[in-house]
Amino acid sequence: MKTRLLLCLLCAVIITGCKKDKPFPPPVDPPVETPVNKSFAVANVLQSNMVIQRDKPARIWGYGKASGVVTVTASWSNGPLTATINSHGEWEVNLASAPANAIAQTISVTTPGETAISLTNILIGDVWVCAGQSNMVMPVGPLPPSFGGVENYEAEIADANYPQIRSLTVKEDYQGAPIDQFTNPTGWTICAPATAGGLSATAYFFARKLHTELNVPIGIIVSAVNGSWCETWTNNAALQGPLSSYNGQHQSSMLFNGMIAPLTKLSVKGFTWYQGENNQKMTPVTDYTKLNIALINGWRSVFAQGDLPFYYVQITPFDDDARGDETENYLAKFRETQMKVREGIGGTGMVITIDAGEKDNHHPRYKKQVGDRLALLALNRTYFKNVQCIGPQYASFSQSGNTITINFVNSTATGLTTMGNKPLKQYFFVAGADRAFRLALASISGDKIMLIVPNGTPSPVVAVRYAFTNYPLTNLQNNAGLPMEPFRTDNWTN
């Protein structure tokens, strides 16, 4: 009896406890995703008159009603491709790669119940993204109030009959997050005398030289804004870690978000970059090297086409403070940080402009030299043409008595001369142990430069500098007409 009673009590306790437990909640179905229906369209960077990148798959993408089927037919492709519009109202197809083609092509995009989209007069060639600040913006023709056009602009415009050069100029757009469509799209333009005056001069001369040397269509996409900072063009993911202090300053990433992000699905050949004036007084100035390398890595990552070539321009000589002080060198130190970009990351090259500036003008009219030199870098390093693409580069110096010999990197100083065979401008300085730099008389001797050590210099000479000031307008070049690079052999603060 006692055993049975205990069992009954135990059962009662268990039953009572079970009654107090909360029941299991009923199963909940996952939320149903509401399909997004968008207006039927192709991405607004894809337009008539554009250039499609040769030798790479061509992504065609756009928008429409979820679950709809899109058919894309390209005149150069074997048969149509289809895609189903996803729940976000987006679709894309990848056309097979094709060789260069200067014959006008078409792309047709259809979906049931909607008006067909037709893109016409498309060429297949090479597409370059040309970015930066005002010196990339400056057009071939005059831009009031301060830019009077490039050198010989009237003749250049009249001669600009290059229908295989196509350009897209992206409108200024600061965005807080990356966007996939331009908010204010513009059209692709065919290069002609009627349109060339408004093109970025640097980009135009770059494209013209590539086109005439390679005989293939060239597309240039110009994304540049006056007075913009490197960090404003750098994508957010690249501004992390050691560079996080730049994340949040100068509208960081906002021009990337609005003017580069919408391009990242395009197949392209590479980038050109003309920027730096806004960053020239940053502290520490050496951070520019890291910042520009971060931009390059970031762009290569989001375009996801390998180590795309990146060719950039060193800033020109300029009396920035209008003080006429020929000894100031903070711009030289900034140019040095630009030079170190190419040392810190592969697939890059730098154009020297030390001979193509204007003392009183941050926007010099000598843009043909800049565009041509960018093209020489591309022709040599991207297209593997046998062309000289760099000017004389310092290698070493030696001293014998009162004479210094400057040696150059092999083959860079062939035919060392001056512009127009005029007297050599004197921009070489030497210093002894006192670290005081004195002007040394320089002369050309074959493929070397000879310096006479100035009186009062403690021997031996321990440092040499060339054109290492704010605005040294030089005339020393090799037989390809490419200027000698400014340099210093020391790392002193003076």
Instruction: Summarize pLDDT for 396-448 with one digit per residue, the tens.
Output: 999 999 999 999 999 999 999 999 999 999 999 999 999 999 999 999 999 99
Enclosing H/E stretch for 107: strand 101-110
Q: What angle do CA 200, 203, 206 make, to 5 degrees?
A: 145
- Answer whether 54's CB lies under 8 Å from 99's CB: yes
Q: So what's the pLDDT on residue 6?
A: 40
Q: How far apart are CA 128 and CA 122, in angstroms?
A: 16
Query: 448 - beta bridge partners?
Result: 445
- Answer whether 298's CB lies under 8 Å from 238's CB: yes
CB atoms within 10 A of CB 187: 13
Nearest Cα neighbor of 45 from 176, 204, 219, 164 is 219
Nearest Cα neighbor of 271 from 354, 340, 192, 203 is 203
Q: So what's the pLDDT on residue 35?
A: 83
**Positions in the chain short of pLDDT 50:** 1-21
What the chain holds in terms of domains, given with CATH numbers, is 37-123 (2.60.40.10), 124-381 (3.40.50.1110), 394-488 (no CATH)
Backbone phi and psi for residue 99, each to the nearest 5 degrees, phi listed first:
-75, 170
Q: So what's the pLDDT on residue 17?
A: 46
Q: So what's the pLDDT on residue 33?
A: 64
pTM of the model: 0.92
CB atoms within 10 A of CB 344: 12
- Answer whether 86's CB lies under 8 Å from 37's CB: no
Q: So what's the pLDDT on residue 322?
A: 82
pLDDT tens digits for 453-471? 999 999 999 999 999 999 9
